[in-house]
Amino acid sequence: MKLSEKEIEQIALGASLLGTGGGGDPHVGKLMALQAVKKHGPVDLIKVEDVPDDALVVPAAMMGAPTVLVEKIPNGNEFIKAFEELGSFLGKKVFATFPIEAGGVNSMIPIAVAANLGLPIVDCDGMGRAFPELQMVTFHLFGETASPMVLADEKGNSVILNAISNKWAENLARNLVVEMGGEAMISIYSLTGKQLKRAAIRNILSYSAEIGKLIMETQASKKDTTEQLINKIKGFKLFKGKITDILRKTTSGFNFGTAKIDGIEENKGDHFSIEFQNENLIAKKDDCVLASVPDLICILDLETATPITTEALKYGRRVTVIGIPCDEKWRTEKGIETVGPRYFGYDIDYVPVEKLIEGGVSK
């Protein structure tokens, strides 16, 4: 399969849903990918099983607060610099690239890298959604290391970083990103094909394209996009309402905030809130938790079902909130320890969204 302009449009839309509000503005990343494909031609999308066991595969991504990307636009050279410097440091030819997460700009950057460097892109990622920290990938769950990693900014600065653990890689890199202006491009988690096959979440780009295509086609036909989307992704409708308040701040290289939503239609009279750190973390109706990380909490425009990122949330906007079960890799003991609600400081145990729904908690 080749990724041309049509597929890029679909992936950008679908991945912005799976990004659970994070991963950066999909529009910026889409423009970068479209420009690269227009200049160099479509990118080959290959399956995980088509990667030789001894081949080197390296993801490419942006690190930082998504709000910064709205004003601090990449010049396009920094992500190539980060990718090439890591390959040079490792002393081995890179076979392919892939997205580290499904979400916004980070689903698009690897396509731009692949087009510019003439590489294929692997149909997989390390999250099946988006998470805010570097150790929050399935590769970490399987004992793979983030180091060495390269960070590069639009000014021409670059850093090669070796850390004693993946959490230390996050801590050190986050401080560097802050100094670089709040966002930087990174290359990280260099893997062999064998390691990728063991730890990656497969088919994420083709799945994103399917989601994006469904949203586009149902919007054009004036059908109920949200209901068809929920059926497609096996999700659950959590709430319908109007955004009445947004508390948002950018600090320590992250977007933190809370969105407050007053119910409309079947949810009239109810109150809802979503807390986020780049990505949506906890969803509550009044004081009752309806969904939490690592399950996906997605905010959609009420009329079009277009996914809304955390930096695009605005007062008065009417939205539908949906919950989606996460990949089973995150529901392991180490997965919950790494990305569960207690890691983010919430004094609650993780309960799968489908169990909350079945138990009537959301009604």
d(CA 77, CA 357): 46
Q: Rounded distance, CA 189 to CA 61, Å? A: 11
- pLDDT value at residue 254: 82
- More confidently predicted of 84 and 204: 204
For residue 314, the model assigns a pLDDT of 93
Q: Collect all residues with Cβ–Cβ distance below 8 Å to 264 and sequence separation of at least 6.
A: 240, 241, 242, 318
DSSP 3-state percent helix, strand, coil across the chain (nearest 5) = 40, 30, 35
Give the pLDDT confidence of 118-160 residue by residue, as tens digits.
999 999 999 999 999 999 999 999 999 999 999 999 999 999 9
Q: Which residues have C-beta within 8 Å of that of residue 3, sequence separation ≥ 6?
A: 11, 37, 42, 43, 44, 45, 111, 121, 205
The pLDDT assigned to 70 comes to: 62
Map out the domains of the chain as residue ranges: 2-204, 223-358
- pTM score, two decimals? 0.93
**Predicted local confidence at residue 361, as pLDDT:** 45
* Average pLDDT estimate for 23-43: 88
Rounded Cα distance, 192 and 195, in Å: 5
Position 72 pLDDT exceeds 50? yes
The CA radius of gyration of the chain, in Å to the nearest whole number, is 19
* Tokens representing residue 189 in the block: 């988690």
Q: Three-state DSSP class for 71?
A: coil
Q: Which residues contact 143 (CB under 8 A, 6 or more apart)?
A: none
The mean pLDDT of 224-245, rounded to a whole number, is: 94
What CATH architecture is 223-358?
Answer: Beta Barrel (2.40)
Hey, what are 134's tokens?
């570097």
Query: Average pLDDT, whole number, for the chain?
Result: 92
pLDDT in tens, 151-186: 999 999 999 999 999 999 999 999 999 999 888 999
Q: Determine the average pLDDT of the residues in 32-52.
A: 96
Tokens of 264: 């409309």
Cite the DSSP H helix spans in the chain: 5-18, 26-40, 66-69, 78-90, 104-117, 138-141, 166-179, 193-199, 204-220, 225-233, 333-339, 353-358
In this prediction, residue 79 has a pLDDT band, given cuts at 50, 70 and 90, of: confident
Whether the pLDDT of residue 187 is over 90: the answer is yes
Pick the CATH number of 2-204 from 3.40.190.10, 3.90.1150.10, 3.40.50.300, 3.40.1610.10: 3.40.1610.10
Distance, in Å, from the CA atom of 188 to the CA atom of 43, rounded to the nearest integer, reads: 21
Q: Is the pLDDT of residue 363 over 50?
A: no
Structural tokens at position 109 = 């950057």
Could you tell me the pLDDT band of residue 220, with boundaries at 50, 70 and 90? confident
Domains 2-204 and 223-358 share a fold: no
Q: For 266-288, what is each residue's pLDDT tens digit? A: 999 999 999 999 899 999 999 89
Cα–Cα dist 178/176, whole Å: 5
Q: Which residues pair with 262 in a beta bridge?
A: 242, 271
> Omega of the bond prior to 66 within 30 degrees of 0, cis?
no
pLDDT at 357: 82
> Residue 252's pLDDT band (boundaries 50, 70, 90)?
confident
Rounded to whole angstroms, how far apart are CA atoms 302 and 306?
8
Q: What is the pLDDT of residue 103?
A: 83
